[in-house]
A and B are shown apart, each in its own frame.
Chain A
Amino acid sequence: MAGDTYRIAIVGSGPGGLSAAGHAAKLGVSHVLLERTDHLSDTIYKYQRGKYVMSTPDILPLRSDMPFGAGKRESILDHWNKQTAELKVNVRYNSEVKAIQKKDDGVFHLTCGDGAVITAENVILAIGLQGNLNKLTCPGGDLPLVQYQLDDPEEYEAETIVVIGAGDAGVENAIALSKQNNVVIINREGEFLRVKQGNLTLITNAIDKGVIQCFYNAEPARVEPDAIILNTADGEARVPCNRIIARIGAAAPRKFVESCGIKFPSADRAALPEVSGTYESNVPGMYIIGALGGYPLIKQAMNQGLEVVEYILGNKIAPADEPLLKKKFAGLGDADIEAVIAEVRATIPVFSGLNPLLLRETMLESDVHVLKAGEVVFRRNDYTNSFFTILRGGVAIQLSPTDPNVVVKLPPGAFFGEMGLISGRRRTATVVAASDCVLLETPRRTMLKLVKSIESVRRTLDQTAIMRQVQTHLAPGVSTEALKPLVETAEIKRFKPGELIFAQGDKGDDMHLIRSGSCTVSMRVGGRDIVLSYVPSGNYVGEMALLSDSPRSATIRAANATETVRLQGDAFKALLEREPELKAKVEAKFRQRIMQNEQMTRRPEAGNIIQFLIEQGVGEGTDVLLIDESLCVHCDNCEKACAETHGGISRLKREAGPTFATIHVPTSCRHCEHPHCMSDCPPNAIHRAPDGEVYIDDSCIGCGNCEQNCPYGVIQLAAPPEVKFDIFSWLLFGKGPGPGEEMSYEKKKMAPGEKVDKPKRAVKCDMCKDIAGGASCVRACPTGAAMRVSPEEFMSVALLTK
């Protein structure tokens, strides 16, 4: 074999390399796939047994001759092995490539570990990063109790295991092991900075609950046969253990890559080699795909594998998402996608800062709407929270709820719908197409990701959003021109839950418009703080000190994660002088507040209830189930009703949860403004319905992220329950489980020890959105103790409680 020169030699049989080899085999191109180990795709082979492998980005189509979809590690490897055999891919196992040299005739010589030399015209480097795991460098790092991977966490039981490394791999291992072992995790930093949101919640919860012990700011000093010695801030600490699992990352095998002649752009340890648009490196004929080229996702790498083979063969191939984008923009006529993307970039400033790949991905996730003049985009008080941009034509925003002729028109390039996105609350205005227009609707999740990661998107968004927020919530009817001097003083402030916004007695020279989250107003009366009111987003605070030219009369704290627009007092006062109508309105509100505060200081217990509700996280909810304990007879009919109307599984635990005075907050979904459960849902199965209900659709894969992310414990994973029969069939013939009963009925027939092995899915309260007549729990309460309230109603709940 060594005598023949292959057209393509592929180094590494990971997703990228395998896909490239598969395509070459299919096309009949002479090729060889060199794999270091005796099996394909070693990185995925070494994943935890049974690990669920994601296929993100979901929207990107797979273009490869190898199959791939989200699923268990085992099934993915199975499919690949089968397909590799079927396509007769020429794999050479146990062939670690030690050196690659380009000879003068342009032919690459690849020297393998066994001394064999393979020659090829082109080389595809698809070696990834995981082949080069970082090892413990401290003394004893080579002892047998140290391992660098975890195959099956259930293999170990009742051991003390030290996990080193605070990245995703370390955290995932630690959590999986903690089910039946005593786990200690070592974090070099003071917190977990490098992990996915879902893993962060998991690990912090586990540490808080004492399930996992964590050493922060600690590093291994040395390893002994039955313990590890750590260097911590307080000196050395000895942790006896049975096993050490080090997950301290991987780096580009730089030495090897450089020895092939490939240059790195910087000396940074994390730096990756640069490649051209056709994945070619600075060495002609040598291509780099996958994680080493900067694309760590499986699907990306597989697509690149196919593309790179086409490029080597001299074919120009359009990106994999081209047909999808064509379909998406079909409404524009037979448009050239390159041109449309260019138009988006040129027209819409929010998106112009995105790199080509990201812009295409964003477009793929967005919807294109072609509307006729007069068509409604969305209505006031809808609970949708997507983000719209105008590509062509224009829209009119109806500012007044009563008069549809009071409008603001937006031109191409402008965006709207950002208020719902930011505050997580209902739409504040109805928007209609002013002329025939083309709109792009980008989903909340995509937009939040962009705002979080791309500075230019956030900047562009904020500038316009501040003006609109001021116009909507503070000064309706005042022109943009007139507001300009005020808005120019504005800045966005972020507050953590419980953080002080300003304190009673402070000098007041600014005011805050709450744009997301909410706050509490409290006052010191008789030496203690009394909560006077709860202020949800869309309201302003701090104007009282400005209007009366006196120090702050009350303390304002963020009730949950809150963003405010801080406006300067002088500019605001100047605005009021210019706008007498606005001044009258603000003063009316000022008087109303003074009265309300006066009323509340005489009813401190009502303030305590507000405080209690906010401590329970009710403040970030949009619709919360509360139980009036002065009426509740503990009949649990609410729970039974919930179970009965949701196929046997109650999403509500009445008794669990705290009580204050006579208000009880049962364990039940609050339908948060910014739902924690939505933050890390791989299939994007959690949505908010137009009426505000947060619900999970049938695409749930049962991964449990939402269950972990919910701070209120209201999501559970459950298998579909048994069939229920009519009440009379149960009463007279004993069929099925009775009303409100668990589904234990069918289980009687099973052999002892047998388990129901049905796939579990996440279930939570959906506010009975599919049932006419409202939430079953409230309707089934015989004494009227159960109620659903929104934060705006707290004041009345609190005031009326006796």
Chain B
Amino acid sequence: MKAAIFIPCLTEHMYPGSGLSMVKVLRRAGVEVEYVDDQTCCGQPAFNAGYRREIIPIAERLIRLFRGKEYVIAPSGSCTAMVRVFYKELDLDGALKDDLDELCSRIFEFCEFMVDVAKVDSLGGRFPHKVTYHDSCHLSRELGVVAQPRKLISGIADIDFVEMNDSDACCGFGGMFSAKFGALSTEMVARKCANILDSGAEYVIGADAGCLMNIGGYLRKNKMTPQTMHITDLLAASLDL
């Protein structure tokens, strides 16, 4: 199985470790990993702010970049949803519309790829800690990926996985939303962090860097003990990769 990795801008610039973890874990699962140079962004921040015409060149570039790849995997529900669900809202060049349809059938978020495509829900790792899981909005509601991350977490030996209350409540990131409505976003993340604390978990696992940055920022600012961890980093750590 051969896959091209799609590296979100937050991963490229702020959390490259999660991207490297994903590569290592995919290789351990027997996937041949290819990294296509010159990736920039899927265009979601601008799209969400209402700009469509402006991101057409970005979208068309991305579609061309991943043409002909057997699979495309992203460590992010938001970016995967942007391509699979929202790119079709754009007024793309006619020829590329077919390429987009084709890409939509081959592009996956990391957890759904591991469980649904690679059919791997346990790699035999070990992580003797208490963890909880945050369902990011695009991942759970646009892509319907809810069971797969849980399977991957539960497949780790000695892990104590507890569900928090309202695991699927929005953490308040929403991209530009957190900058436009800072006070409101803070109240939302405060609720999320209260639920994390209530769960007693040492780590909150997530599949989207934006959510984890937002949650982690609040936890640290308020000197709360739990730490955030991307699911790719969790799997890599459990395997000592």
The judgment on whether A and B are partners is: no
- Chain B residues in contact with chain A, CB under 8 A? none
